[in-house]
Structure 1
Amino acid sequence: MTITHEVAGTGPAVLLLHSSVCDRRMWDGQWDALRDAGYRVVRCDFRGFGETPCADAPYSNLTDLEELLDELGIDRVSLIGASFGGNMAAQFAALRPERVHSLTLLCPGSSTHEPSAELVELGEREVDLVESGRLDEAVELMVDTWLGPDADEAAKAKVRLMQRNAYEVQLAPEEEIRPTEIEVDLRNAVAPALVFGGRHDVDDFRRIAVDTAAVLPAGEYRELPWAGHLPALERPAEVADLLIAHLAEVWKA
């Protein structure tokens, strides 16, 4: 199966990986800027998000990413990931270090982090709302939780659209098939890595960002004092500039 994707531009390859409350449209605010800066930009929808349906057989997100790169003829890529997509980017860089030129992680998630009671409660509230058919309330819970104080109404509307779509896509199959986990050691992800955390993010993710930067061999942590969990939506132009600056640095090297 080929996951839904878009490609634009020419030059060094950059792959954008979305958060689990969004889909590939979360990168609208950076898409043109990255292309115009001289990169071949790719963005995709993971299974169960955007225009990619849920899986009907066992699968791995990391295998999906490798197959996408193979299909596009990309041997080496810079990965940019937000939240869940940041976790996938770091894991892919550990699994296939020879294929990853750099990492830029925005408030990344983690497969090994032990969630706080508050985060567990949040997840349980979301599941309860979704399972009881109260999708609008679940969407608003996600908007209120994950967007920081600088998010405008356009950003909120976009998250509402993407999150609602994800719920509907994921509720469609009669049986849920969860991805196969591939065990990786992030210490094998040797590419230069810039990890951003948001000062207004949920405490769990603030800790994950710091810890991820510490475990990555070439990791550097920077805090965005204005950001919540989705800075690419909260200040699109500023994040575009940050991404382009890091890419220019690592590709020049």
Structure 2
Amino acid sequence: MTLIHDLAGEGPSTVLLLHSGVCDRRMWDGQFHALAGAGHRVVRCDLRGYGDTPIDAPHTHAEDVRALLDEIGADRAAVVGSSFGGEVALEFAALHPERVCALALLCSGAPGHEPSEELRAWGARERDLLIAGDIDAAVELNVDTWLGPDAGPEVRALVRAMQRHIFDVQLPVPEEHAPVDAGVTAEDLPRIGAPALVVSGAHDVPDFRALAEDLARLLPAARHERLDWAGHLPALERPAETAALLTAFLAEAGVPGAAVR
């Protein structure tokens, strides 16, 4: 299966956008055309079980990403990942380092991370709500947890709709179609030599703030940027500012863009 995706721009480099676990490819509305306008060829996709891509078989997200890049004829890409999408980006970069020319990790997860007691308690609360059939409350729990103070009503409504769709798609899926672990661990991350921007949000939950510091140490060519205003989803909370941050990083990392007139 080819992941459902959108393409924009005709630049010499490919920029791949991987969404968070509470969103789908719509979360990049504020960066998709901005990056194309900066001279890049941009692709955003729905991973399996998100947005318009169904779950029809066992799968490994990192290998789905590889197949997508093969499909669109991209030998290498700069990969931008938000939260869960950042974890998939790291797995892809560890398995196929020659195919990644830069990494931007926004409040990223990481392979092998052991959640804190606080995050485990949050997960248990979500699970209890889902078991009880209170999908609406589980959706609101996610909206309230993952959006920072700059997220207005329209953003909250979009995340609410995306998260509800994720539950609707994923909850009926049989266990035999569950994701297959990519086999990447924290010990594999230091072999990712691509320039990396690791972003954290001051209003994010503690696990992800700590993960950003860990990733900045583990990745050989990484720098850490802390956003004082951000929660867990800066691309939605301040879209234009996040687009500018990514555009500047790609230029700094030497990712070529077409001449913009």
Verify the 8 A CA contact 2:91 2:111 in the aligned structure 1.
no
Question: Which residue is equivalent to 1:32?
Answer: 33
1:52 aligns with 2:76: no
Instruction: Give the TM-score of the pair, scaled to structure 2.
Output: 0.94
Secondary structure of 1:22's match?
coil
1:192 aligns with 2:192: no
Structure 1 gap segments, 5+ residues each: none
Give the whole-Å Cα distance in 1 for the aligned partners of 2:249 and 2:255: 10
1:173 aligns with 2:141: no
Secondary structure of 2:80's match?
strand
1:171 is displaced (CA, Å) by 1.9
Question: Which residue is equivalent to 2:131?
Answer: 131
1:46 is displaced (CA, Å) by 0.8
Give the whole-Å Cα distance in 2 for the aligned partners of 1:160 and 1:39: 30
Question: Which residue is equivalent to 2:221?
Answer: 218
Instruction: Give the TM-score of the pair, scaled to structure 1.
Output: 0.96
1:252 is displaced (CA, Å) by 5.5
1:221 is displaced (CA, Å) by 0.6
Matches within 5 A, 1:1-253: 1-11=1-11, 12-56=13-57, 58-175=58-175, 177-184=177-184, 185-251=188-254
CA offsets per residue over residues 47-103 of structure 1, 9 Å max, x none?
1100011132x2211110100000100001000000000111112111111110100
CA offsets per residue over residues 192-231 of structure 1, 9 Å max, x none?
0000000110001100111011101111111000100000
Aligned CA RMSD, in angstroms, stands at 1.2
Give the whole-Å Cα distance in 2 for the aligned partners of 1:23 and 1:243: 19
Verify the 8 A CA contact 1:94 1:190 in the aligned structure 2.
no
- What is the aligned residue count? 252
| Identity over aligned pairs, percent | 58
1:173 is displaced (CA, Å) by 2.7
Secondary structure of 2:254's match?
helix
